Amino acid sequence: MSELSDAEKRKILRERRQKKFGNGGASSRLNKITGQVDSNLSTESPLDTPRSAPIESKQQETLIDIPDPEIPNIDDHIQKTTPAAKIEDAQLNLFKQLADMQKDGSSPDLFSLLKSMNGETGDDSIFKNLPTSPEDAPTPVDTELLKYHDYLVNRLKAKTILIKWMFFLLPYLYLVTRGGRTPLIPVPEMLSILLDPSYFFMIFTSFEMVATSIYYQKLQSIERNHKINTLDNSSKIVKLVSMIPEGIIPVPNLKGKVVLALQYWDVLSLFLTDICFVLLFIGIVVYF
């Protein structure tokens, strides 16, 4: 076998070294050094930490799979829809559109760009997605997140109604209509006074108040988590009202007033739904 050249020797040694530093070897080497003198210096190796972490994490964010298409991962959506991310998206869109215009051969000159910035070209305005200032601009909400939010709000409403009906109104109405005399649901003696029909409206309204308060607490917690005001984003009436410029109608803060009215209407509608259920149930009981 012929003698190795210097270059070949260097290459073999280099490979040997890389092998020793790879596969966690780097950290164990640092452990070996610090272990001898019982030092508290860091043994985390630069070789064991990813070099382009920010880029990779960004890639990971876009690659996250949503486990269930019906119920998307809410944390990811909240992260993706922060105002900063939206501004970045808008800037990316701007670059994309500029690149497309270049590809078409229609190089945008400064004048046309300025015109676009002013919105003179209508739909072609490449700056239309850019918020004017973070304070002025309404917080943009991702449509997917909004859909998910609506889904959760509707689910909460449905669950609340179902729980109210199944676990309180139905047994309570049954007992009230039976005068507390039923072998199905044993009632303690001290509670039988509550089944007196003359107390029905008081108990019903008290229950409605408690149930509505719990419902609104839950709703607010969902809104806080998603940073979405349900009425602001889902109600068509609010959207239409918000299109009316301030000052045209002699009512200050029209949108706020409409939102407040809608909130009251929401509470009332819950109450009316339950009243309807009560009337329907009593009707059925009376019929049979």
Partner 1 sequence: MDFNVERNLHSLINSTSHKWIFVGGKGGVGKTTSSCSIAIQMALAQPNKQFLLISTDPAHNLSDAFGEKFGKDARKVTGMNNLSCMEIDPSAALKDMNDMAVSQNGNGDGDNLSDLLQGGGLAELTGSIPGIDEALSFMEVMKHIKRQEQGDEGENFDTVIFDTAPTGHTLRFLQLPTTLAKLLEKFGEITGKLGPMLNSMMGAGNVDIAGKLNELKANVETIRQQFTDPDLTTFVCVCISEFLSLYETERLIQELISYDMDVNSIIVNQLLFAEYDKEHNCKRCQSRWKMQTKYLDQIDELYEDFHVVKMPLCAGEIRGLNNLTKFSQFLDKEYDPQADNHIIYELEEKN
Q: CB-based contacts of 185: which residues, under 8 Å, 6+ apart?
A: 171, 174, 175
Q: CB-based contacts of 218: which residues, under 8 Å, 6+ apart?
A: 156, 160
The DSSP-derived string for 151-183 is: HHHHHHHHHHHHHHIIIIIHHHHHHHHHTT--S
Q: How far is the CB of 225 from partner 1 (least distance, A)?
A: 34
Out of 78, 85, 87, 98, name the contact with partner 1 by CB under 8 A: 98
Out of 78, 113, 117, 254, name the contact with partner 1 by CB under 8 A: 113
Q: Which residue, 5 or 132, has its beta carbon nearer to partner 1?
A: 5
Q: Are 256 and 238 in contact (CB under 8 A)?
A: no
Residue 53 makes contact with partner 1 by CB under 8 A: no
Out of 23, 59, 82, 102, name the contact with partner 1 by CB under 8 A: 102
Residue 47 makes contact with partner 1 by CB under 8 A: yes
Q: Which amino acid is at 210?
A: V
Residue 10 makes contact with partner 1 by CB under 8 A: yes
User: Which of the 8 DSSP states describes residue 196?
Assistant: -
Which residues within the stretch 247-286 sit at the binding site for partner 1 (CB under 8 A)? none
Out of 2, 36, 40, 133, name the contact with partner 1 by CB under 8 A: 36
Owner of token pair 């009436």:
237
Q: Give CA separation, 57 vs 35, 45, 52, 212, 247, in Å.
A: 33, 20, 9, 42, 47
Out of 23, 24, 32, 268, name the contact with partner 1 by CB under 8 A: 32
Applying CB under 8 A, which part among 21-29, 82-90, 140-148, 207-215 lies near partner 1? 21-29
Binding stretches for partner 1 (CB under 8 A): 4, 6-7, 9-10, 12-14, 16-18, 20-21, 26, 29-30, 32-34, 36-37, 39, 41, 45-47, 51, 95, 98-99, 102, 107-110, 113
